[in-house]
Amino acid sequence: MGLLQPAPAVIGAVSLTAIVGLIVLVHFIFCIVVLGNVDSSKPVTVSGVQISTMLQSAGGAFCLLGLPLTVHGGVGAIYRVPSHLNTYLLYQFLSLLAGAAFLISVAVNQRPCHTRESVVPGELATMVCGLPSGGALVLLAIFLVVVCVAMYLVWSLTENTKKRLETDLFRYQEPLQLKAQMGEEAMAQATKNATGGVAAAHRMGVPGALWSSAAM
């Protein structure tokens, strides 16, 4: 048995299939939101990190790829198709790497606090700070935990689906094996009866039986 066991088919009062379906839906909405905020005409600054137009376009392309893949994973969750779920699980892993790289860059390249002078005479200067280091690290940790839990649930549904398919195959295989065994036994019994009849005919000296081979 492996160190990591799949989650049960029902968690609390909700089925694992419904939970994975909700994960896929949230991921699909997230991809749409990112696509809606991509601006290829000018760079944007998020928590002190400037995102170039090329990087925005790359992120938008990645999320655009995620739209059919999330639908692919949703179909696999509903109809219990392990190959669909494995494809979506791979996309989840790539999303984890991309998100972790972005949040690490935010934590490393954040803007320090600085004083902004007022342009209006008589107003006091204000202090502007970037995202605190602790906040960035907490956000990174929460993101990693959430994505890892989502990947674990998708993997659990994949493993449960594989086990269910194997159980169904065994259930349909048993009647076929029983039928084949009964056929072999019937054929063996018929051969035994025919051999016994030929041997009895030879012993009785039946004329027609003289042309048939005697039983060994």
Is residue 109 within 8 Å of 131, Cβ to Cβ? no
Tokens for 62, please give them: 């990645």
Is residue 164 within 8 Å of 98, Cβ to Cβ? no
Q: Report the C-alpha gap between 205 and 105 in whole angstroms.
A: 101
Per residue of the chain (216 residues), give pLDDT as tens.
Answer: 457 888 888 888 889 999 999 999 999 999 999 898 888 888 877 655 677 888 888 889 999 999 999 999 999 999 888 899 999 999 999 999 988 887 777 666 655 555 556 556 666 656 555 544 556 667 777 888 999 999 999 999 999 888 877 665 555 555 656 566 676 777 777 776 666 665 665 566 555 544 445 444
**Residues ≥6 apart with Cβ < 8 Å to 28:** 66, 67, 70, 71, 74
Domains in the chain: boundaries: 10-112+131-166
Task: Give DSSP secondary structure letters for the chain.
Answer: --SSPPPPSEETTEEHHHHHHHHHHHHHHHHHHHHHT--SSS-EEETTEEEPHHHHHHHHHHHHHHHHHHHHHHHHHHHT-HHHHHHHHHHHHHHHHHHHHHHHHHHHSPPPPEEE--SSTTPPPEEE----HHHHHHHHHHHHHHHHHHHHHHHHHHHHHHHHHHHHHHHHHHHHHHHHHHHHHHHHHHHHHHHHHHHHHHHHT-GGGGGSPPP-
pTM passes above 0.75:
no
